[in-house]
Amino acid sequence: MRFMSKFKLIVRILIVLSLLLANFIPIFGVPFAAESGAPDISGVTNVIWYVNSTDDVSYNNDEFWTKDIQINSSGKMTWDNIAAYIDGNITVQSGGIFNIANSLLNLSGNFSVDGTVNFDNVTLIMNCSYDNEHWLNVANTGTFNVLNTSDISAYDKTTPIDLDKTIPGNESWGLHYNFTVHGNLTINNSFISYVYGNTIGYPGGIHLYETALARITNSTIFENQISSAISFQFLTQFF
């Protein structure tokens, strides 16, 4: 009888532990696989999100803090009216789709666009802890559409940066991010600012490589390092 009582006690302890682990797993950053039907994310913190192939999930009217977000090939995620604070990287793989509207993203990491990313009235704040720490890159297979008063800028706009210490007063302000394009870029009725550049061979502004196809209309590109709005690498299709 004592043995059975001890056995039942052990079973109960194991059940309680399993429930506790189930509740606390997201806090420790175990990958979160989004599924059709979109689980509740209210108050979720420090989660690594994976949107897998064939997943099609939507979130709206929410605020959350998270780690890396990865949308795999053929995966799709849609946000509307979201405030997201991301301490990690966003990666949209080739074939993946990330639609974002009426939202704020504060990103302390890199943004890799190998698939399709659509911004519609989105504010993206690139939060660097030093100049040129993070980058936004549109790969050869990527398409990035920045539309309808979207705004991509830096979090820190005041820290003085010495561009060339041999020239007194040759400074810029703010912790800039890198913006490179190898694929398709469309910017319309939007704002881009505080993009990285330097005085020793890397022009400032949005850097378009030879494979890039860019269309920029009715938009403002300003306050970039080295003052350039756009720089070109070899032949680029620009409209």
The pLDDT mean for the chain works out to 77
Instruction: Say if residue 92's pLDDT is above 90.
Output: yes
- Asked if the structure places residue 9 within a domain, the reply is no
- Asked if the structure places residue 48 within a domain, the reply is yes
pLDDT in tens, 13-36: 554 444 444 433 333 333 333 434
Q: How far apart are CA 202 and CA 180, in angstroms?
A: 11
- Asked if the structure places residue 45 within a domain, the reply is yes
DSSP β-bridge partners for residue 229:
none
Residue 47 has a pLDDT of 65
| pTM exceeding the 0.85 threshold for the entire prediction | no
Please give the residue range of the domain that contains residue 232: 28-238
Nearest of 132, 126, 96 to residue 113 by alpha carbon: 96
Domain count, the chain: 1
Q: Torsion angle of alpha carbons 80, 85, 88, 93, nearest 10°?
A: 10
Instruction: Say if residue 236's pLDDT is above 60.
Output: no
Amino acid at 201: G
Q: How far apart are CA 162 and CA 153, in angstroms?
A: 20
pLDDT in tens, 120-162: 999 999 999 887 789 999 999 999 999 999 999 988 776 766 5
Band (pLDDT 50/70/90 cuts) for residue 191 is very high
